Amino acid sequence: MSEEVYFFPSDRNESSDIIAEKTHKVFSKLGLFRDITTGDFVALKIHFGEQENTGFIKPVWLAEVVKDLLKRKSRPFYTDSNTLYVGSRSNAVDHLRLAGQHGFSLKETRIPVVIADGLIGRDDFEVSVNLPHVKSAKIAGAFKDSDYLLCLNHFTGHLSTGFGSAIKNLGMGCASRAGKLEQHSHVHPWINPKVCTNCGTCLEYCPADAIVQEEDNAVILEDKCIGCGECVVVCSYNAAKFRWDSDFKRVQEKMSEYAFSTWSLYKKKAGFMSFLMKVTKDCDCMAKDQPVIVEDIGILGSNDLVALDKASVDMIIKKAGRDVLRDGYDVDWNIQLEHAEKIGLGRREYKLVELS
């Protein structure tokens, strides 16, 4: 049986009010949200973009969805987790400031922003899944107590996964810093002795006491390191580094398993929407305004994130007349879809339903 994927054509030349109305119509087709009752916490998982990035989903496009949720007397909130890399989203203070600069303020949206894994990414919990790569996933704390999840995805290309959309937003985006590190890396961080000043800051923040000071530089003790990545975030000299996993197949499979881990907390209380507008070569973590790789297509929604991602890829390739995702980076993007279906996260077979 094919999974239904709802589609409303749209582009950025339309007014924000029209896009907001179309977004709400797609949202309304995800019937599970009709069961939301007074006091339910509804997590709106989104990416707030980076400095100088303009591709992120605009909060004004979601105004009618927020209005609907507030009418139900629920408690909706925008949320995302902190990043592994040092920047404007690596801690909650800077993350909240950036969200406000991009229009996600309480005054403008009527709902708050909650950084899901706390001040510096330590607030998480473990979800036991016993999958091929991930036995126990480290998920950002805010998702533990949320009653419903609406995963809002801006579809883009991606360096290591071919594309980023619902699976990536749920898998990578809902993981704590330690969870992100587990997906990206197969070994622990290391400290570059040529750059390290031996200041001792990383020792203060290491929760496992896994860093020691030698004569000229700090050193990470492999047998004690838990892979949380806090040393990378707090190092002012960029001496603490990740060893990135160069096996793109393994990264995509681990990402799909993390998506399964978050989805398992909600199942029939999760819905997914993707915006195929300003589709760029790289994800919204890039702090610059990139050109589009395909013309705007519209807004898609489904209760099956695998079907949604497959439909999105198909529509982008059809619109462009070629596989523009492979043009950007020669990565087999189908790995994440294939593995997600294999572990029971969803199905790639879908039925596209165009709305008007």
The 3 state secondary structure assigned to the chain is CCEEEEEEECCCCCCHHHHHHHHHHHHHHCHHHHHCCCCCEEEEECCCCCCCCCCCCCHHHHHHHHHHHHHCCCEEEEEECCCCCCCCCCCHHHHHHHHHHCCCCHHHHCCCEEECCCCCCCCEEEEECCCCCCCEEEEEHHHCCCCEEEEEEECEEECCCEEECHHHHHHCCCECHHHHHHHHECCCCEECCCCCCCCCHHHHHCCCCCEEECCCCEEECCCCCCCCCHHHHHCCCCCEECCECCCHHHHHHHHHHHHHHHHCCCHHHEEEEEEECCEECCCCCCCCCCCEEECCCEEEEECCHHHHHHHHHHHHHHHHCCCHHHHHCCCCCHHHHHHHHHCCCCCCCEEEEECC
* In a domain? residue 311: yes
Of the residues 197, 219, 241, the one at which a domain ends: 241
Q: Same domain for 85 and 219?
A: no
Where on the phi/psi map is residue 43: left (φ > 0), alpha (ψ -120 to 50), or beta? beta
Bridge-based pairing of strands 148-154 and 41-45 is parallel
* In a domain? residue 28: yes
Where on the phi/psi map is residue 238: left (φ > 0), alpha (ψ -120 to 50), or beta? left
Q: Same domain for 40 and 151?
A: yes
Crossing angle for the helix pair 334-342 and 305-320, to the nearest 10 degrees: 160
Of the residues 221, 241, 261, the one at which a domain ends: 241
Q: Same domain for 13 and 126?
A: yes
* Burial label, 186 (beta-carbon count in 10 A; 0-12, 13-18, 19+): middle
pLDDT of residue 286: 80
* In a domain? residue 260: yes
Query: CA 304, CA 324: separation in Å to the nearest integer?
Result: 24
pLDDT of residue 289: 87
pLDDT of residue 187: 56
Low-confidence ranges of the chain (pLDDT < 50): none
Query: CA 290, CA 303: separation in Å to the nearest integer?
Result: 30
* In a domain? residue 292: yes
Of the residues 226, 241, 256, the one at which a domain ends: 241
pLDDT of residue 160: 83
Tokens of 180: 């992100």
Residue 126 forms beta bridges with which residues?
A: 138
Where on the phi/psi map is residue 229: left (φ > 0), alpha (ψ -120 to 50), or beta? left
pLDDT of residue 241: 84
Q: Same domain for 28 and 156?
A: yes
Q: Same domain for 236 and 339?
A: no
CATH number for position 227: 3.30.70.20
pLDDT of residue 207: 77
* In a domain? residue 154: yes
CATH number for position 62: 3.40.50.11440
202-255 per-position pLDDT tens digit: 999 887 899 999 999 999 998 888 766 778 778 889 899 877 655 789 989 999
Q: Same domain for 210 and 338?
A: no
* In a domain? residue 216: yes
Q: Same domain for 279 and 132?
A: yes
Question: In the chain, how many domains are there?
Answer: 2
* Burial label, 26 (beta-carbon count in 10 A; 0-12, 13-18, 19+): buried
pLDDT of residue 245: 59
pLDDT of residue 232: 79
pLDDT of residue 244: 64
The residue whose two tokens read 């907390």 is 265
Query: CA 176, CA 92: separation in Å to the nearest integer?
Result: 12
Q: Same domain for 119 and 226?
A: no
136-180 per-position pLDDT tens digit: 999 999 999 999 999 999 999 998 899 999 999 999 999 998 899
Q: Same domain for 68 and 155?
A: yes
Which domain range does residue 31 map to?
3-177+247-354
* In a domain? residue 217: yes
* In a domain? residue 182: no
Q: Same domain for 265 and 343?
A: yes
Report the predicted TM-score, pTM, of the whole model to 2 decimal places.
0.87
pLDDT of residue 2: 84
Q: Same domain for 264 and 345?
A: yes
Q: Same domain for 218 and 339?
A: no
pLDDT of residue 192: 95
